[in-house]
Amino acid sequence: MNVTTNMGTFQIDFGKRDRVVGIDLGTTNSLVAFMDFTGPKIIPGEDGDKLVPSVVSITPEGHVVVGNPARELLMTHPERTVYSVKRLMGRGVDDVQQELKLFPFRIAAGSESVIQLALGEKTYTPPEISAFVLRQLKKNAEAFLGEPVSKAVITVPAYFNDAQRQATKDAGRIAGLEVLRLVNEPTAASLSYGLDKRKNGIVAVYDFGGGTFDISILRLHDGIFEVLATNGDTHLGGDDIDNLLLRIALEDVASEWNVDPASDNELVQRLRRAVIHAKESLSFVPETVIELDYHGRHYARAIDRELYDRLIAPIVERTLGPCRECIRDSGVSVEQIDEVVMVGGSTRIPLVRNAVERLFLTRPHTELNPDEVVALGAAVQAGILSGEVEDKLLLDVTPLSLGIEVMGGVVAKLIHRNSTIPASATESFTTAVDGQKNVLIHVLQGERELARDCRSLARFDLKDIAPMQAGMARIEVRFLIDANGILNVTARDKRTGAEQSVDVKPSYGLSDEQVARMIQESFEKAEDDFRERQTREARVEAETILRATERGKLNDAWLDLTDDERAAIDRAVNELLVAQNSDDHHVILSKIEALNQATGKLAENMVNTAVRGALKGTKI
């Protein structure tokens, strides 16, 4: 076998490499990272914090607030604030009934195929909310790097299905980012751990985050990271522990204070903050207190590690089933697994670490900050795509089997789970009755035998088939899962070789038109934001010159001016004071210029006065 490649010399022809950032769009926190000369680095936000809470709040004035400030607004304006929106990405209303009970925000009407969240007067889809977070990360990266950023790698839970991946990609597009690749979070984490230093071996990545759980088993081979199998639960994470403790705290408060906490969103959110604080403490101390002071009332409940472990044991146990399945699917034995890597904030919990150690018979790696490894790995993957990193390559798999519905509501599997992606399958379709012009194909994802137990992805309508006898038509449909884990479908009339038109109706998610409209809106919004910034800057400038003029009036130079000159300055000052309230920065800037003109002589005189003053004190 002889493969001749010449990638190295090619890069020179493309000149300057475009900057590609790596983004971890998490349930609880999001991060952005880039490849430095020395390796991947996290980019801090304006407040210096590396973690940007994935919280979005819409103020009554319609301004979007993201991150730490939004987390504060969650306390005071819970009905205008969204968190953990990742749990709603690519899902239908029926899927999320359970979670909605604990969320303060409301679902709006018209949420059949895409959930619509009502925030104040407007409604937003989960991809739009995520786009706000992404836009903030983009802004942070641009401020830090001092250059525009338009390309990104975004990570997703390995166990995300097609709709959830598509929704994440849509969010990127709405935020003005070209999403070059979606990378699975555990796989990304393995990249950042420098595991390839050991050259060859088998590695398991246990990723227990805020809202999702993933397990992946990889084979490392001279820089190739080949995923052998993956498994997980997209609805299992630290959130579940929070909710468990929150339920207890709510019951306590209800009986001790004799109130109905369900009707008090602020109380619920403050209690949530209190239990999260207690949860985090219990990873480091043997006992703590869930505590809240609320409008003159005090709540306190002591909780020790023993009770805590007993409470969360069922949740930790739920991660072990997917682990065992993953080991079986990977075709390796537990003894063959050389290393286990811990990812996600929930892996700080001692009970979790113990459970993993017992199952994998090895002490898991916890050297790197579990909140940062995924973003760092995303930056490495960004480096691979931009050509900066040449020795590494990820070969990932599709987490769920892909199939089509056949007679009797049964699913015929076309691409099996844990197939290395890109992966494809070709299937021939024909007509059942004479003159039939359409063939409807129902595509599903999942492991169950019956269509109703699998996840409906889309319905494809093969249209405009030339009328002919039943069974004569031959439409060849190619199902291709790309490197992002997203399905692409193309169809061809085998008799004519012509491309066959396919009409796609995604079961959950946004249509292309909807995404296009949102991108348009976000551009308009971005223009608004830009104008707003220009106006603010002009106002600051006006403030500066007005203050300087006031100071000038106290100077001897003021007295040296003619009455007309002084009147002209007063007029210009008054006009600028009026213009300052304008929303049009042009108006403000023109009045600043006018005042500048009017005070020219004054400034000159002031300089001369200063020089004279200086000379006075000098002995000649």
Partner 1 sequence: MKTCWNCGRATETDQGGAPLFCPSCKSLQPPPSDYFALFGLKPRLAISPDELQKTFYELSRALHPDRFVRKPEREREYSLEASSVLNDAWRTLRNPVARGEYVLKQNGFDIGEQRSKNVPPELLEEVFELNMAIEEVRGGDEGARPQLDLARANFGNMLGDVDGQLETLFRKWDETQSRDDLAAIRALLNRRKYIQNLVSEVDALLAPAA
From residue 155 to residue 194, the character string flagging contacts with partner 1 as x (rule: CB under 8 A) and all else as - is: -------------------------xx-------------
Judged by CB, which is closer to partner 1: 443, or 465?
443
| Of 222, 306, 335, 503, the one binding partner 1 by CB under 8 A | 222
Smallest gap, in angstroms, from Cβ of residue 483 to partner 1?
Answer: 5
**Nearest residue to 159 (alpha-carbon basis) of 242, 240, 54, 229:** 229
Smallest gap, in angstroms, from Cβ of residue 179 to partner 1?
Answer: 12
Smallest gap, in angstroms, from Cβ of residue 434 to partner 1?
Answer: 27
| Of 483, 486, 548, 603, the one binding partner 1 by CB under 8 A | 483
Work out whether 3 is an interface residue with partner 1 (CB under 8 A): yes
Work out whether 581 is an interface residue with partner 1 (CB under 8 A): no
**Measured distance CA(101)–CA(97) in Å, rounded:** 7
Smallest gap, in angstroms, from Cβ of residue 9 to partner 1?
Answer: 8
Smallest gap, in angstroms, from Cβ of residue 2 to partner 1?
Answer: 7
Q: How is 177-198 classified by DSSP, letter by letter?
A: -EEEEEEEHHHHHHHHTTGGGG
Work out whether 582 is an interface residue with partner 1 (CB under 8 A): no
| Of 21, 74, 204, 384, the one binding partner 1 by CB under 8 A | 384
Smallest gap, in angstroms, from Cβ of residue 292 to partner 1?
Answer: 48
Judged by CB, which is closer to partner 1: 48, or 408?
408
Work out whether 486 is an interface residue with partner 1 (CB under 8 A): no
Q: Are 227 and 216 in contact (CB under 8 A)?
A: yes
Q: Are 208 and 352 in contact (CB under 8 A)?
A: yes
Work out whether 201 is an interface residue with partner 1 (CB under 8 A): no
Surface-to-core class of residue 472, CB atoms within 10 Å of its CB (0-12 exposed, 13-18 middle, 19+ buried): middle
Work out whether 230 is an interface residue with partner 1 (CB under 8 A): no
CA 280 to chain centre: 23
Judged by CB, which is closer to partner 1: 18, or 252?
18
- Catalytic residue IDs: 24, 86, 185, 207
**Nearest residue to 368 (alpha-carbon basis) of 34, 19, 42, 144:** 42
Order the strands of the 106-107 sheet from edge to edge. Answer: 106-107, 117-119, 122-124
Q: Are 485 and 421 in contact (CB under 8 A)?
A: yes
Q: Are 272 and 264 in contact (CB under 8 A)?
A: no
Smallest gap, in angstroms, from Cβ of residue 465 to partner 1?
Answer: 24
The most distant pair of C-alpha atoms in the chain lies apart, rounded to whole Å, by 115
Residue 432's alpha-carbon distances to 469, 546, 573, in angstroms, are: 9, 82, 83
DSSP for residue 467: P
Smallest gap, in angstroms, from Cβ of residue 138 to partner 1?
Answer: 19
How many other CB atoms are found less than 10 A from the CB of residue 37? 6
Span of 52-60, 218-226, 281-289, 524-532 interacting with partner 1 by CB under 8 A: 218-226
Surface-to-core class of residue 504, CB atoms within 10 Å of its CB (0-12 exposed, 13-18 middle, 19+ buried): middle
Q: Are 268 and 104 in contact (CB under 8 A)?
A: yes
**Nearest residue to 349 (alpha-carbon basis) of 434, 238, 250, 254:** 238
Residue owning tokens 């619920």: 268
Span of 14-22, 427-435, 492-500, 608-616 interacting with partner 1 by CB under 8 A: 14-22
| Of 75, 102, 107, 224, the one binding partner 1 by CB under 8 A | 224
Judged by CB, which is closer to partner 1: 88, or 326?
326
**Six-digit token pair at 491?**
């169809």
Span of 259-267, 475-483, 520-528, 536-544 interacting with partner 1 by CB under 8 A: 475-483
How many residues sit close enough to partner 1 to count as binding (CB under 8 A)? Answer: 36
Span of 47-55, 354-362, 365-373, 390-398 interacting with partner 1 by CB under 8 A: 390-398
Judged by CB, which is closer to partner 1: 277, or 392?
392
Span of 98-106, 288-296, 378-386, 536-544 interacting with partner 1 by CB under 8 A: 378-386
Span of 134-142, 415-423, 557-565, 577-585 interacting with partner 1 by CB under 8 A: 415-423
Surface-to-core class of residue 311, CB atoms within 10 Å of its CB (0-12 exposed, 13-18 middle, 19+ buried): middle
Smallest gap, in angstroms, from Cβ of residue 201 to partner 1?
Answer: 15
Q: How is 54-71 classified by DSSP, letter by letter?
A: SEEEE-TTS-EEESHHHH
Work out whether 395 is an interface residue with partner 1 (CB under 8 A): yes
Judged by CB, which is closer to partner 1: 334, or 578?
334
Q: Are 162 and 191 in contact (CB under 8 A)?
A: no
Q: Report helix, strand or coil for 340.
A: strand
Judged by CB, which is closer to partner 1: 208, or 479?
479
Backbone phi, psi, residue 449, to 5°: -80, -35
Residue owning tokens 């990272």: 33
Span of 103-111, 219-227, 297-305, 312-320 interacting with partner 1 by CB under 8 A: 219-227
Looking at residue 282, its amino acid is L
Span of 116-124, 159-167, 379-387, 519-527 interacting with partner 1 by CB under 8 A: 379-387
Span between the terminal Cα atoms of the chain, in Å: 93
Q: Kindly report whether the peptide bond that precedes residue 422 is cis, defined as omega within 30 degrees of 0.
A: yes
Smallest gap, in angstroms, from Cβ of residue 15 to partner 1?
Answer: 10
**Measured distance CA(285)–CA(416) in Å, rounded:** 45
Work out whether 6 is an interface residue with partner 1 (CB under 8 A): yes
**Six-digit token pair at 7?**
């990638």
Judged by CB, which is closer to partner 1: 2, or 255?
2
| Of 120, 176, 387, 552, the one binding partner 1 by CB under 8 A | 387
Work out whether 482 is an interface residue with partner 1 (CB under 8 A): yes
Work out whether 108 is an interface residue with partner 1 (CB under 8 A): no
Torsion angle (degrees, nearest 10) of CA 402, 407, 410, 413: -30
Smallest gap, in angstroms, from Cβ of residue 295 to partner 1?
Answer: 55
From residue 417 to residue 456, the character string flagging contacts with partner 1 as x (rule: CB under 8 A) and all else as - is: --xxxxxxx-------------------------------
Helix axis angle for 265-281 and 238-257, nearest 10°, is 120
Judged by CB, which is closer to partner 1: 118, or 224?
224
| Interface residues toward partner 1, by CB under 8 A | 1-7, 10-11, 14, 17-18, 180-181, 221-222, 224, 381, 384-387, 393-395, 419-425, 480-483
